[in-house]
Amino acid sequence: MVLDLSRVLAGPWASQSLADLGATVIKVEQPGAGDDTRLWGPPYLSDDHGNRVGESGYFLAANRGKYSITVDLKTDEGKKIILELAKKADIVLENFKTGTLDRMGLGYSVLKEVKPDIILCSITGFGQTGPRAKQPAYDFMIQAMSGIMSVTGESDDRPGGSPMKIGIPLIDLITGVYSTSAILASVVRRERTGRGEHIDIAMLDVAVSLLANQGMNYLLTGQTPVRRGNRHPNIQPQRVYRCIDGQIILAVGNDGQFAKLCAALGKSELAVSEKFATNDARVRNLPELDVLLDELLATFNKAELLAELELLGVPSGPINTIPEVLNDPQVVHRQMQFELQDEHGVSIPQIRSPYQFSEASTRLNMRPPAMGEHTESVLREILGLNASRIQELRQNSVI
């Protein structure tokens, strides 16, 4: 069982992944307010007449498969409920600011007393230690601070040159993925050792780790990576190209693929030219290669060229809109989009997790919950509270 004290995106993304994988996730929300993202709209779930009937799209994207209870963690009775639930939990997930859980009397040392092998995963902007530990953070802020925005966007010498954030809250999402991995690794370790764990996941750490080849380019050369738009810093040709009727991308990864590209363009001689025969040469002579490829591709029909490149095995593709990718035959075949029903029978569209197993299956039959929908059932069935006690807690605004 996962006791999920998190809200917004990184934590809920992790707990949704765990729910998809079969975990029982109890989402704890503040009475009367709930997860901030319930109101991060429009858009909201609406009926066929356009009337709002549910939560925001933001909330619906990250809270499938969970039971929602409301508990006021600022009250003594609320803290007691959380500790009683922690006794029965395998994992506690939280993303309060550093030190908040300790001040509430619900920190790792306290949780270990009630459940010695508990796994606590704490997600913060900057981690549990360090000079920034107590600062709040959001995805956009971390994209900027981590250096990711410094290498994202068009270069300064081109129109529109400016640092640019990624079009989705990627740091939040990957933080959720790393948290899931760390939690599952800790579960395996606990099976072997019987010991719990306090996992310290920081969004800035996650973002720095994602610098990958760009970070290594700097470490090897001492040269600061710069924005290159869609042009890859190490492998060429890779960027957006314009055909007669639209744009495509090429993601040529080796010399053999470049030779096939040249053949498709009717310019096989480029593949044996000293200037372009190797990736090293293409990177060094990229300005000249860019001019040649721009001129050549501008003479081709997009669909016809992509079909030819697909036959030859040259990595390439269209730049799909969101509707186009969700209707792509491959995405449809993989059943990445599906629907759940809310309590009123209104369809809730969902995009599934990417897990595909040969022997197991993901659990995708529980819609995102209404705020506090399962408070009474969880308190009754898991903690054994009777109706009068639950009513008393409600009258005292604990739940």
- Residue spans of alpha helices (H) in 155-201: 170-193
What tokens appear for 374 in the block? Answer: 């399962």
> Active-site residue among 20, 139, 172, 342?
172
> Is the alpha carbon torsion for 124, 168, 352, 209 positive or negative?
negative
**Could you confirm whether 172 is annotated as catalytic?**
yes
Distance CA 52, CA 63 (A): 18
Residue 229 CB contacts under 8 Å (≥ 6 apart), including other chains: 153, 154, 155, 158, 239
- Residue indicated by tokens 């090293």: 280
What tokens appear for 103 in the block? Answer: 């001040």
Residue 115 CB contacts under 8 Å (≥ 6 apart), including other chains: 86, 87, 89, 196
- Measured between alpha carbons, how far is residue 69 from residues 72, 164, 396 in Å? 10, 38, 16
Distance CA 15, CA 92 (A): 10
Q: How many residues does the chain have?
A: 399
What tokens appear for 313 in the block? Answer: 């095995």
8 A C-beta contact, residue 75 and residue 398: yes
For Cα atoms 290, 147, 219, give the angle at the middle one, nearest 5 degrees.
80
Give the rounded distance of the alpha carbon of 258 from its chain centre. Answer: 33
CA dihedral 40, 349, 362, 183 (to 10 degrees): -10
For Cα atoms 5, 191, 374, give the angle at the middle one, nearest 5 degrees.
30
End-to-end CA distance of the chain: 20
8 A C-beta contact, residue 339 and residue 350: yes
Distance CA 155, CA 113 (A): 54
What tokens appear for 359 in the block? Answer: 């022997």
8 A C-beta contact, residue 384 and residue 390: no
Catalytic residue positions? Answer: 172
